[in-house]
Amino acid sequence: MSLAISTKKNSMLIYIIGIGLLTGTLDAIAAIIDNWKIPAAFIFKYIASGVFGKAAFAGGPNMVLWGVLFHYLISFLFTTAFFLLHPMFYSWFRNKLVTAIFYGLITWVVMNVIVLPLTNIPPQHFQLIPGLTACGILIVCIGVPVSFIATGYYFYKRK
């Protein structure tokens, strides 16, 4: 009996880990650039405040690390879901860019309608320009990498 995992599954896992690191990093960089007047540490403490509440802002480097961890965890979850469901979504749209836009929109909706209301982050009123900016960031930083790389994985590398 062999405990080795098949090459196909290893390959998929490697792709998901790589894309998760890419999307998490791109999204973090975009958040830092979009909020250039705010220290990066504060951005990650804000993310950590979703779990730890206001105490995250009084915390030190450990809260920044928690924020980074939560940021990458969320990025990996979206990346994994979109990567695994990519054949279905791509079959609907038959276009990598349209699929990428769909991924970004879904990410924005899930985060703002489901995830954030379940956290300790106080609710905020919707504002059009910041909302569109956030959605655009998610399209570029999550949707495009997942859509383009997953299309290559499923349709070009497997033939």
Report pLDDT for 2: 45
Q: Is residue 30 within 8 Å of residue 141, measured between CB atoms?
A: yes
Q: Is the pLDDT of residue 92 over 80?
A: yes
- pLDDT, averaged across the chain: 93
pLDDT (tens digit, 9 = 90+) per residue, 111-137?
Answer: 999 999 999 999 999 999 999 999 999
Is 66 buried (19+), middle (13-18) or exposed (0-12) by CB count in 10 A?
Answer: buried
What's this model's pTM, rounded to 2 decimal places?
0.90
pLDDT band at 155 (very low <50, low <70, confident <90, very high): confident
